[in-house]
Amino acid sequence: MRQFMKALLLGAGLLLGVGAQAAPVTLKWAHGYETSEPFHTQAEAMAQKIKAATAGRVEIQVYAASALGAEAEYSKKLASGDIDIAYIGINVLSRDYAPLGVVGFPFLFSDPDHVRRFLVSPVFDELRKGYEAQSRNHLMAAIYYGARHVTSNKPINSPRDMQGLKLRVPDAPSYKLFARSMGAVATPMPFAKVYDALKSGEIDAQENPLPTILAKKFYEVQKSVTLTGHMYDMLGIVISPTALQRMNEGDRVIVNDIIRKDAVWASVQIIARELVAEGKLGETGIKVIRPDRQAFMEAAAKAVSPADLQARPGDYEKIRELLKPGMH
């Protein structure tokens, strides 16, 4: 009789968990950028597409402006389940897999197209797989973050002008290496605290892409920006293994495909924004300095090497070779 009643209930869809719609999987996406920046607007757009494509089975809540903590904490928060997805700089990910740090070697990349070639290259795919094996997280995609430049109150026209400068950098080996290569004092600090630290004089300078300098209004507390282009940075979109396991296989494919495809569009938007940022910065009154970049490159080459970042043998050379005609 018990089995008979169970069969009736199953057929009617009345047994607990049968016939009822499963609760949606809700994921938290953390990042440190302002809601006006394309990193946030693209994350929101991806979340909306994913919700529609999964018929509401997967909902992503995006938390901007370090609301769920600083970028340096995201790897631990992914492991603990406090967050599920995060924007994390590729150079910051090198704290979990050191060979990734090669991408932050000073003056490795020459322009955005060089970065594009790298992100579709076998060497990036190898580094991505190495990171995933080491961290257990999944690096779904990487987007262009921008060329980093130095802002300061003291005009920087040559490498020697950076000697002894207290330079705020993210807490990752490659950023610290750049400071060291210029004779500056690397001063790691959470992104959310940089504006106030510049205003108070706790630090002398910081380095970031031009759109970020605009969005964070660093021009209010700095007198000049020197277009060093010392690093072309990338931002990873990372999801935890626990978050992946909470989704069914079909939804995992949908989420991965949407994020990979939209990451390309996000990069296009960021490059476009970068192209107009220099003019907008000039309108703020901050002095824009165009130095002899070659002098900075030569100073860095004398002071540091890719081995300082635990780069795999040959990776630096392979990335440089992507500049050759015919390499796509």
C-alpha span between 328 and 319 (Å, rounded)? 12
Judge whether residue 2 has pLDDT over 90.
no
Q: In the chain, where do the E strands start and end?
A: 25-30, 58-63, 85-89, 138-152, 166-169, 185-188, 205-209, 224-239, 287-289
Which residues, in sequence order, are CB contacts of 14 under 8 Å at separation 6+? Answer: none
Banded model confidence at residue 6, pLDDT cuts 50, 70, 90: very low
The CATH classification of domain 22-321, taken from the options 1.20.120.160, 3.40.50.970, 3.40.190.170, 3.40.50.10780: 3.40.190.170
Tens-place pLDDT, residues 63-113: 999 999 999 999 999 999 999 999 999 999 999 999 999 999 999 999 999
The structure tokens listed for 141 are: 């995609």
Which SS3 state, helix, strand or coil, does residue 11 take?
helix
C-alpha span between 127 and 106 (Å, rounded)? 18
pLDDT confidence of residue 3: 52
Banded model confidence at residue 22, pLDDT cuts 50, 70, 90: confident
pLDDT confidence of residue 21: 60
Lowest mean pLDDT segment, chosen from 28-32, 33-37, 57-61, 82-86: 33-37
pTM over 0.85: yes
Which sequence spans correspond to the domains of the chain?
22-321
Which SS3 state, helix, strand or coil, does residue 31 take?
coil
User: Which residues lie across from 82 on neighbouring strands?
Assistant: none
C-alpha span between 327 and 176 (Å, rounded)? 31
Q: What percent of the chain has pLDDT over 90?
A: 90
Quickly list DSSP for 87-152: EEEHHHHTTTSGGGGGGGSTT---SHHHHHHHHTSHHHHHHHHHHHHHH--EEEEEEEEEEEEEEE
Tens-place pLDDT, residues 231-264: 999 999 999 999 999 999 999 999 999 999 999 9
Amino acid at 183: G
C-alpha span between 66 and 45 (Å, rounded)? 19
Banded model confidence at residue 327, pLDDT cuts 50, 70, 90: low
C-alpha span between 219 and 216 (Å, rounded)? 8
Tens-place pLDDT, residues 101-160: 999 999 999 999 999 999 999 999 999 999 999 999 999 999 999 999 999 999 999 999
Q: Name the average pLDDT for the chain.
A: 93
Cβ count near 34 (within 10 Å): 14
Q: Are the C-beta atoms of residues 80 and 291 closer than 8 Å to each other?
A: no
C-alpha span between 255 and 22 (Å, rounded)? 18
Instruction: Look at residues 146, 148, 145, 142 and name the one whose alpha carbon lies nearest to residue 168.
Output: 148
